[in-house]
Structure 1
């Protein structure tokens, strides 16, 4: 990686005027710093990485560290800013809450969204990733206040903002875990989990890796990414810069299945709690509609890319699915692609009894998991079909 690498890592568990947060907040920040400076992983020069924990993370210290990055990082640098702690809101304004913040005087003692945005804009680097882990809950029973999505929109000019959850959700520390759920997968991605054929961890690939894993482990937590950039830029070395063979099978497919479903209960619960774990347990590589693809790119583009790079498209049929226009686009696209190629790409699963399927879907052999007597057998059939080569319309695989 020829660009210079800079980072600021902030973790605040001990506040002077607020109740303490879980130790996982501090451990998250320490682990992020350690993986960034590890030559076997991200390869950041230790001198370019500032770590601020608890009392060290004052308003002046954080702004000063951002100013040092602005002074040292050139336009071709890659910069990561990681913040784990409280966010706050007052009179419509958003704030990062620092160790010395007075909750009765947020303006002069916290860092407002406008100040934070200005500090980021002062960094000349064209590749800046801001990671905000601003809400913890779950096994430890304490919460961090989150930040509203309009703030992320203001911060994204030339930047990528990765947040641990939606503004109306909590970010969880699972019972017995040493790290927050979000940061656990963020770290795993930086430690080599993100596939790469050029030895680099790229920003959208990192999100594509961690987002479905976080949501798989906690269905009510959805990391989000806001971006106004023109490239999938690198944020770190992968495994010290060692490239990995492209993640494709012998037929050139990146995924075994693209899962198209209606993203609402109970369909989403079944997909994430039953279908995806079963496919992964059997060594298959699923991509899930809405949780794969490049953030900031129109869904129609990401859907086409996911369906094209997956061997089969699995559609989870329900009444909600048939009423969903996005889902309809996906299954029509997959079926049309199969017609052009002379293959059968579409594999339907019936999640609930439906007597009036569209003719183009009714003609396909459908697996039925709505019937308890057939559920396990048809899931086995699904796994076998996804492991097998694509069937061709001339009857020859």
Structure 2
């Protein structure tokens, strides 16, 4: 995704139109995170939320988008052939909103070979009406993916943190969409999103219009970031840090991981959750940052393993920075000389047959619970 640019816009707090659900703000931040994880440089992603998303700021951001693949995402009200902004006035739309043809002209002027516009437009709480001009003035290399037909509603399902369309869009961008080469391409993304949206709500049909010469890539998710985030923002409940040698490896793969997965927990394992060919230190950092807890499998071999030492130091340092307790140690054999920084942590004893069943249950409960915070 070299030289890719993105503009991510979300408006929920309207002054003269009905406010939209909190899911809109979740949508824009989650889309930003997903495309950064998918290869966009953070410095090349512009995020405009609520009052920041003015007519001037949006048009200026479009005007400054450079050559290279580009993605533009908008979530908010769409009505009367306009994108409605926080300060839009129904009596002065030409000066307080962005007309469909004006937006289409700005998109057409971007000096990029391929541009994807994604619209999750809502009206009256969760109602979407998409301006026809977005579809009728497409230039070559431009595509529009929209949440619903012009005469349909776009829904936020009860209890969901994201709108229905963006929920499936995020999953596709994070790796659920099919791919032969590890890159999520535009046609494959829509083919993933459309049937799932309509399956979850039969009255909503995403729309795709394009003038393209290639099935260009939209994202390239890494193995450590392909899973969707939970309500706390984590992709995994546990990152397992262990010594990859006998007997520790056998216990991790034959006992620990199957038991955690049977409990419905999302598990990433050191050395197995990263991208092949990428340095272990890079994959380990990605896995630790995207997991709620780092599970240390303590043994004599673990205490002499340099890679394992790096992992637990990184997780502990990250916890100090965040004001949280990231490390969760478990003991799989009796050991002495545990480093003081680890010995001070409450350790679950899975080596003692009389304690292991109870401590396994405590482990599962700890991984299901919110991340403990320092007070």
TM superposition score category, shorter chain reference: 0.5 to 0.7
Partner of 2:48: 52
Gaps of 5+ in 1: 244-397
Cα displacement string for residues 215-239 of structure 1 (whole angstroms, at most 9, x for unaligned residues): 1111111001001111111111132
> Is 1:180 paired with 2:163?
yes
Distance across 1 between alignment mates of 2:123 and 2:56: 25
Asked if the contact 1:96–1:113 (Cα under 8 Å) also holds between the matched residues in 2, the reply is yes
Distance across 1 between alignment mates of 2:144 and 2:58: 18
Distance across 1 between alignment mates of 2:225 and 2:90: 46
Residue aligned with 1:126, SS:
coil
Partner of 1:216: 199
Out of 98, 116, 120, the position equivalent to 1:129 is: 116
Residue aligned with 1:134, SS:
strand
Q: For residues 67 and 202 of structure 1, do their structure 2 counterparts lie closer, same or farther at Cα, with a shift above 3 Å needed?
A: same
Asked if the contact 2:118–2:145 (Cα under 8 Å) also holds between the matched residues in 1, the reply is yes
Q: TM-score, normalised by structure 1?
A: 0.54
Partner of 1:18: 17
Partner of 2:217: 234
Partner of 1:225: 208
> Is 1:65 paired with 2:61?
yes
Partner of 1:109: 96
Asked if the contact 2:174–2:225 (Cα under 8 Å) also holds between the matched residues in 1, the reply is no
Asked if the contact 2:128–2:148 (Cα under 8 Å) also holds between the matched residues in 1, the reply is no
How far does residue 156 in structure 1 lie from its aligned partner after superposition?
A: 5.0
Asked if the contact 2:138–2:211 (Cα under 8 Å) also holds between the matched residues in 1, the reply is no
Asked if the contact 1:136–1:180 (Cα under 8 Å) also holds between the matched residues in 2, the reply is no
Asked if the contact 1:163–1:223 (Cα under 8 Å) also holds between the matched residues in 2, the reply is yes
Distance across 1 between alignment mates of 2:139 and 2:50: 27
CA RMSD of aligned residues (A): 2.0
Distance across 2 between alignment mates of 1:96 and 1:36: 23
Q: TM-score, normalised by structure 2?
A: 0.57
Residue aligned with 2:18, SS:
coil
Asked if the contact 2:134–2:144 (Cα under 8 Å) also holds between the matched residues in 1, the reply is no
Partner of 2:245: none
How far does residue 242 in structure 1 lie from its aligned partner after superposition?
A: 11
> Is 1:86 paired with 2:77?
yes
Distance across 1 between alignment mates of 2:165 and 2:126: 14
Partner of 2:184: 201
How far does residue 155 in structure 1 lie from its aligned partner after superposition?
A: 3.5
How far does residue 127 in structure 1 lie from its aligned partner after superposition?
A: 0.9
Distance across 2 between alignment mates of 1:220 and 1:88: 19
Q: Aligned runs of 1:1-397 on 2, under 5 Å?
A: 1=1, 3-38=2-37, 42-69=38-65, 73-74=66-67, 77-89=68-80, 94-135=81-122, 142-155=125-138, 157-239=140-222
Distance across 2 between alignment mates of 1:160 and 1:48: 20
Residue aligned with 2:51, SS:
helix
Distance across 2 between alignment mates of 1:160 and 1:192: 21
Q: For residues 144 and 170 of structure 1, do their structure 2 counterparts lie closer, same or farther at Cα, with a shift above 3 Å needed?
A: closer
Residue aligned with 2:137, SS:
helix
Runs of 4+ more than 3 Å apart: 148-151, 240-243
Distance across 1 between alignment mates of 2:41 and 2:204: 33
How far does residue 241 in structure 1 lie from its aligned partner after superposition?
A: 11
Distance across 2 between alignment mates of 1:158 and 1:197: 22
